[in-house]
């Protein structure tokens, strides 16, 4: 439920950005936000999201961004307001957003690091479920496999739960396959730890 609330919270920000026609979040001076991303960063931040339920996009794999925008456009993945936003995107738009978003700086965790007990539990879960096999040893992803390190904790937890229940069909079924074996406490630990990387 917290995740849903986060989505609705995101809506006013989007509307404000559209009305004002300017970015709400000012980018770092030496890493200007591409003009195309003005509306995106209003909710998602210029790399790191500060909005509950809204994922960070910085450093995301361009190919992955294309698959998700495609799924939003085709209503394969339902997540307001992204379905409406992507509805009018052309294939070229999808490619351009993928390339632009990949240039935003990767998200960073700014709080204290994971404590030793969480780290131990989460690393055991990462090993058991072989997260690194696809996402890479540093969990930064490759090709159409997303960067997940330092992603928002509640977003990671919701994504894993939705893969497990098949409420979120992956573009490729790999996450639906591996999530079947996830226990609730593993989801909690994985989200908490990966968010803090």
| SS3 assignment, position 145 | strand
The dihedral built from the CA positions of residue 188, 106, 168 and 24, taken in this order, carries a sign that is: positive
Piece in contact with another protein (CB under 8 A), picked from 4-12, 79-87, 153-161, 162-170: 162-170
- The only residue of 21, 30, 35, 88 in contact with another protein, by rule CB under 8 A: 30
Nearer to another protein, 15 or 28 (CB): 28
**Residue 14 CA: distances (Å) to CA of 10, 32, 51:** 6, 20, 12
Q: CA 128 to CA 93: how far, in whole Å?
A: 38
Q: CA 162 to CA 136: how far, in whole Å?
A: 22
Contacts of another protein in 109-128 (CB under 8 A): 109-110, 112-114, 119, 122-124, 126-128
Nearer to another protein, 1 or 35 (CB): 35
**Is residue 165 involved in binding another protein (CB under 8 A)?**
no
130, burial (CB in 10 Å: exposed 0-12, middle 13-18, buried 19+): exposed
Least distance CB 167 / another protein (angstroms): 13
Contacts of another protein in 52-111 (CB under 8 A): 58-59, 61, 63, 66-67, 70-71, 74-76, 91, 94-95, 103-106, 108-110
Contacts of another protein in 132-161 (CB under 8 A): 132-134, 136-145, 147, 149-150
């Amino acid at each position: 439920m917290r995740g849903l609330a986060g989505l609705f919270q995101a809506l006013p920000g989007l509307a404000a950005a559209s009305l004002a026609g300017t970015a709400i979040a000012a980018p770092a001076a030496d890493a200007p936000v591409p003009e195309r991303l003005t509306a995106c960063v209003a909710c998602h931040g210029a790399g790191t999201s500060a909005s509950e339920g809204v994922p960070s996009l910085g450093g995301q794999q361009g190919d992955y961004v294309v698959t998700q925008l495609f799924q939003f456009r085709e209503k394969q993945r339902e997540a307001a307001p992204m379905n409406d936003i992507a509805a009018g995107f052309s294939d070229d738009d999808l490619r351009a957003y993928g390339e632009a978003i990949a240039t935003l700086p990767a998200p960073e965790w700014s709080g204290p690091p994971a404590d030793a007990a969480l780290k131990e539990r989460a690393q055991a879960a990462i090993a058991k479920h072989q997260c690194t096999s696809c996402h890479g040893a540093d969990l930064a992803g490759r090709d159409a496999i997303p960067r997940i390190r330092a992603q928002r904790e509640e977003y990671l937890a919701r994504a894993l739960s939705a893969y497990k229940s098949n409420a979120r069909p992956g573009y490729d079924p790999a996450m639906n396959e591996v999530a079947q074996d996830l226990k609730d406490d593993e989801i909690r630990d994985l989200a908490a730890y990966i968010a803090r990387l």
